[in-house]
Amino acid sequence: MADLGDMFRNGLGRTTDCRPMLEQIANQRTKEANDGEIFYIGYVPNTEEETKGLPSDYYEGYEYYRISPAKLLFRFTNPTQ
């Protein structure tokens, strides 16, 4: 199981400086708070091919949310699907 909080703070495998991403997120939240357009982004790969070369957490997320019965729940809670 992935520790998503740690991953978003420190990057998966500690290879990414997340500060620029966090700044973008803060800016987007400010826009949305001021009635700006909501921006959606998916973080679960759509195909098994997209998981190639990535840490196993990505495949496990793909498998759970795109293949298992949980995909039905995810479909209704993810407006980009």
Q: Is there a single domain that holds both residue 53 and residue 77?
A: yes
Which pLDDT score, from 0 to 100, does residue 15 have? 62
Q: Is there a single domain that holds both residue 48 and residue 79?
A: yes
Q: Is there a single domain that holds both residue 33 and residue 50?
A: no
Model confidence over 13-71: pLDDT tens digits?
Answer: 666 676 887 898 899 999 999 999 988 877 788 889 998 988 888 888 888 888 877 66
CA torsion 58-73-40-62 (nearest 10°) is 10
The domain total for the chain is 2
| Domain region containing 3 | 1-39
Which pLDDT score, from 0 to 100, does residue 26 have? 94
Q: Is there a single domain that holds both residue 27 and residue 46?
A: no
- pTM above 0.75? no
Which of the two residues, 27 and 76, has the higher pLDDT score? 27
Instruction: Return the structure tokens found at 67.
Output: 């293949």
